[in-house]
Amino acid sequence: KSCKNNQMLFYFDYFDFKWLVNAAMEQRRRRRRRRRNGYNTLSLLLFFFLVFASRTSTSASCRRRTVKHLSTTLPSSTPLESRITSKVIIISIVSGILTGLVSALVLAFLVRCIVKYMKQTPILKGPVVFSPKITPKSLHAALSNGIQLLGSDPNGKYYKMVLDNGLVVAVKRLGSLEGNGSPEATTSSKSVKRRLQKELELLAGLRHRNLMSLRAYVRESDELSLVYDYMPNGSLEDVMNKVRAKEVELGWEIRLRVAVGIVKGLQYLHFSCETQILHYNLKPTNVMLDSEFEPRLADCKLAKIMPSSHTAVSCYSAPESSQSNRYTDKSDIFSFGMILGVLLTGRDPTHPFCGEAASGGSSLGQWLKHLQQSGEAREALDKSILGEEVEEDEMLMALRITIVCLSDFPADRPSSDELVHMLTQLHSF
């Protein structure tokens, strides 16, 4: 036995030699078998590599074909997915619209506030003149000098004033515009001043022969003075007092002209202005008469816009204005009916007169209605204007119109437009 080159050799006899040869051949066969097994293993690995590579390339190719297919066609979706997608789209659209609307409203509100602030009327002090014949300097000078008192009413006093250029004007000084000094009253007072200033500018633009034209106004401290044309005959109240005292004679034709002029002024306020204007305080003291006894309505809307204006219920106030604080153009018609009744009867409605008629009631309207129903309407007429038969017929017709104007129901009263037609039919002017 020996070892050489890692080979084991055995020395036998014949039989041992034969076994040696067989052992060497067997060892060689084992080497070949191991080499063959290695080749087989390598071949198997190479085979698996080729198969894997082939499958990978095939899968990639399939994926490319799938992507290409997906890029050209939309996947089919289930009905549930379609409904969910539709709801999402609708909610998105609605949310966008609502957001846009809210943003637009907020922007519009901000713009409106800015414009309102920029357009806010500043409170003016000193004279504000609407007539070229009057200058602020001459108005200041005249107010500082002596002025003649013409009369007064609960809302202020009337004065006669002569300017430097010789123009005679009438001035009405109103009550206080200030509050009680508190912040709330101060804010309210500023609001009232702006509103009053705006209304006065509106009234200054009114042009009608039967309206008192506002020529200027002066606001100093808490006092407001209104400047009008001077009316030589004063107010209708002044003239009727003189008639009752037999100091002045006022025939039926003049009285009817006064009535027609008053209702024409109301017609202009109610129907001809851009926005309807109500008088709110129509009575004889607010009807001024010029040198030809043409009437002009004064203090239009003043009782509504003045904070200190006395709006106490009087015999010239319509029933609804005192009962429900509701005032319409038909309320002005009731006041006109009272004035027409004063012109026809010559009586002062504030004085007691119902004793002459047992069931005549306590108001001028009720008294006239009672005499009309009893057939004694002529007894209500002013004796100083009774004369010709034609005039008496006109007065009796005017008395019927008066009763209709004094109806307790506003809907039953005629409009100022209708009254102009009715009264002008009585006499040709």
Whether the Cβ atoms of residue 300 and residue 203 lie closer than 8 Å to each other? yes
d(CA 9, CA 362): 166
Which token pair is 357?
A: 């008629």
Whether the Cβ atoms of residue 108 and residue 115 lie closer than 8 Å to each other? no
CATH superfamily of 236-426: Transferase(Phosphotransferase) domain 1 (1.10.510.10)
d(CA 5, CA 285): 155
The arithmetic mean of pLDDT across residues 322-346, rounded, is 93
Whether the Cβ atoms of residue 252 and residue 385 lie closer than 8 Å to each other? yes
Domain ranges for the chain, please list them: 2-72, 76-120, 126-229, 236-426
Report the candidate in 306, 291, 111, 113 with the shortest Cα–Cα distance to residue 203: 306
The arithmetic mean of pLDDT across residues 317-326, rounded, is 86
Q: Quick one: pLDDT at residue 218?
A: 87
pTM: 0.68
Q: For residue range 271-314, what is the model confidence (pLDDT) as tens digits?
A: 999 889 999 999 999 999 999 999 999 988 887 776 555 555 67
Instruction: Name the residue type at position 309.
Output: S
**pLDDT confidence of 185, banded at 50, 70, 90?**
very low
- Whether pLDDT at 84 is above 80: no
Q: For residue range 217-242, what is the model confidence (pLDDT) as tens digits?
A: 888 777 788 999 999 999 999 999 99
The arithmetic mean of pLDDT across residues 321-326, rounded, is 84
Select the CATH number that applies to the domain covering 126-229 from these four: 3.40.50.300, 1.10.3720.10, 3.30.200.20, 3.30.379.10: 3.30.200.20
Q: Which of 10-19, 126-135, 397-406 has the lowest mean pLDDT?
A: 10-19
The arithmetic mean of pLDDT across residues 162-182, rounded, is 76
String of DSSP letters for 168-207: EEEEEEE-----SSSHHHHHHHHHHHHHHHHHHHHHHT--
**Helical H segments across 230-346, by residue range:** 236-244, 252-267, 302-305, 319-323, 329-345
Would you tell me how many other CB atoms lie within 10 Å of the CB of residue 266? 28
Q: Which of 81-90, 117-126, 137-146 has the lowest mean pLDDT?
A: 117-126
d(CA 428, CA 306): 39
Q: Which residue has the higher pLDDT, 352 or 253?
A: 253
Q: For residue range 192-215, what is the model confidence (pLDDT) as tens digits?
A: 777 888 888 888 889 999 999 899
Q: Quick one: pLDDT at residue 255?
A: 96
Would you tell me how many other CB atoms lie within 10 Å of the CB of residue 144? 8
DSSP, collapsed to helix, strand or coil, labels residue 337 as: helix
Q: Quick one: pLDDT at residue 198?
A: 84
Arithmetic mean of pLDDT over the chain: 78
Q: Which residues contact 311 (CB under 8 A, 6 or more apart)?
A: 280, 281, 303
Would you tell me how many other CB atoms lie within 10 Å of the CB of residue 195? 14
Q: For residue range 27-75, what is the model confidence (pLDDT) as tens digits?
A: 566 666 555 555 555 555 555 555 444 444 444 444 444 444 444 444 5
- Whether pLDDT at 189 is above 70: no
Whether the Cβ atoms of residue 193 and residue 307 lie closer than 8 Å to each other? no
Report the candidate in 150, 144, 189 with the shortest Cα–Cα distance to residue 164: 144
Strands 2-4 and 7-9: antiparallel
